[in-house]
Structure 1
């Protein structure tokens, strides 16, 4: 019989349908963001993979209610959580909505991944032919950092155990230290607020000035893109490129003028001004 995966092994980069029936790969959750690429970071983020017997299991319900209280912390820490069961997507979607969960619920209806990992429950109880309730904590490259066997509920990780696991992983990543963000390269993109204490006219920095339209802006990450007729590629910007204090936002479709900067990780905009 195939041995079950252990710390140090590579977790398979599976592709399964989510609660909406959309097929997604696991690596899409752990890789670095577009902003991280601009900053020059190479590392991605940890991901927690929870296998569930299904919506009907009271122990799974208890575990998932606990994870619902953890999901907002994971979001602000840029760590990801996914769960996998043999339930149909429509069933997973209903369970997810009832819990108030925001993470992705994958469906392995054919049990291919569950069998591949050798965690299929083959007892004759009510959980027969379901996944054993394992939890895997993965590094960004999908290497297994920790495995929790939840056959008995006490074997399932507490939120504090998960927090400690994530901290241990992230402390080894290239983006973790303050100094990583205090570099001159990153500060060209994530501009320190004190740069805007004095109103800097466009072009006063010596950089060329262009006009464009805000193509997109993500309120959650504070990152967006500008479409410019004079530049072939989309131009990245962080909200700190908009002069002002606090968290600044800008609507897609807004016409803007901005200073244009080329970095070794791509095109960026700074000193963005809305055109009246």
Structure 2
């Protein structure tokens, strides 16, 4: 073992060349200074590829997380917008309902049971109320098809309007809501049978139809089964003084005997 001038041996020195360059210089140093060949190298392992793969995987996971977050935000935004639209439509419907006149709001084709009571209430509240509500009459033998109406029984009443021979006479020019409903009860019929229900106005000798309903095919066979069908007409019309209003049907003898289901009325707006 070689020594230095201080009398003790020099510690061995190891050089590791990871780049693989100048192996001769290392060998010369060990031979001349230390008196021996290349020392055994200590194995060393590094893992840069594994770290790169983990880093890449982490980046992909972060990207997928952001994508999912954006999708959830879009879904919540769409739900919020839909809820806002629904609330806005509900508010608009409520506002329109409040602005609708009470007189017209109470008139519906599906439910006419409370109609006379509403008109009577209007008559009590408004001193200038003009209107009438008549129900079906038992005698409907008119050859012309013009219906007769009951003016005193049940819910029938007249106020500010004249009635004569099945018709109303208008005493004051203005806008009126006019309505009529008829119900047919037929014992024998065929699929070719039909019926017509119309409301007409007579003005200065000229008869003009203002509303009409025509139905056919309501019977499926000509057996002994009874068939019932109905027709409802209603609209807002402008009438002049001395106009006459009538209701005509094609088969007056087929009208139902339930007279509350047959009615004719109007009131001034």
TM-score computed with the length of structure 1 as normaliser: 0.21
Higher relative contact order (CA 8 A, sep 6+): 2
TM-score computed with the length of structure 2 as normaliser: 0.22
